[in-house]
Chain A
Amino acid sequence: QVQLVESGGGVVQPGRSLRLSCAASGFSFSSYGMHWVRQAPGKGLEWVAVIWYEGVVKDYADSVKGRFTISRDTSKNTLFLQMNSLRAEDTAVYYCARADRGSPLEYWGQGTLVTVSS
Chain B
Amino acid sequence: DIQMTQSPSSLSASVGDRVTITCRASESISNYLNWYQQKPGKAPKLLIFAASSLQGGVPSRFSGSGSGTHFTLTIGSLQPEDFATYYCQQSYDSPWAFGKGTKVEIK
Contact = CB atoms under 8 A, between A and B. Distances in A.
Bound pair: A and B?
yes
A35 B96 contact: yes
Interface of A: 35, 37, 44-47, 50, 59-62, 95, 99, 101-106, 108-111
A26 B36 CA distance: 22
A44 B100 contact: yes
A106 B35 CA distance: 11
Interface string B27-58: 00000101010100001111001100001000
Contacts of B92: 102
Given A44-B101, A95-B43, A105 B34 contact: yes
A111 B38 CA distance: 13
Given A44-B101, A45-B87, A105 B46 contact: yes
B95 interface: yes
Q: How large is the interface on B (under 10, 10 to 19, 20 to 34, 35 or more residues)?
A: 20 to 34
Interface of B: 1, 32, 34, 36, 38, 43-46, 49-50, 55, 85, 87, 89, 91-92, 94-101
Contacts of A61: 95
Contact of A59 (B43, B55, B85, B95): B95
A59 B100 CA distance: 21
Contacts of B95: 47, 59-62
A23 B24 CA distance: 34
Given A95-B44, A108-B44, 19 more contacts: A44-B87, A44-B101, A45-B44, A45-B87, A45-B89, A46-B98, A47-B97, A47-B98, A50-B96, A62-B1, A101-B91, A102-B32, A103-B49, A104-B46, A104-B55, A104-B89, A104-B91, A106-B46, A111-B43
Contacts of A35: 96
B94 A104 contact: no
Contacts of B94: 50, 59
A46 B32 CA distance: 17
